[in-house]
Amino acid sequence: MLRWTLTFVVLAIIAGIFGFGGIAAGAAGIAKVLFFIFIILFLVSLIRGKKIL
């Protein structure tokens, strides 16, 4: 999922450079959502991975 986030960030940067503001904003929005989902899933996996003694 982090790979998709980086892909959309690169797409947003390239689109912004070439002046496609709408595409850049859309790609940046998707990247932001995917990044937060990745962070949430990462934290959940850290919490569930701990063993209680």
**What's the predicted TM-score (pTM) here?**
0.71
Q: What is the mean pLDDT of residues 2-8?
A: 86
Tokens of 1: 């999922």
Q: What is the mean pLDDT of residues 13-30?
A: 90
CA-angle at 14, arms to 38 and 33, nearest 5° = 20
Type of residue found at 47: I
pLDDT(11) > 70: yes
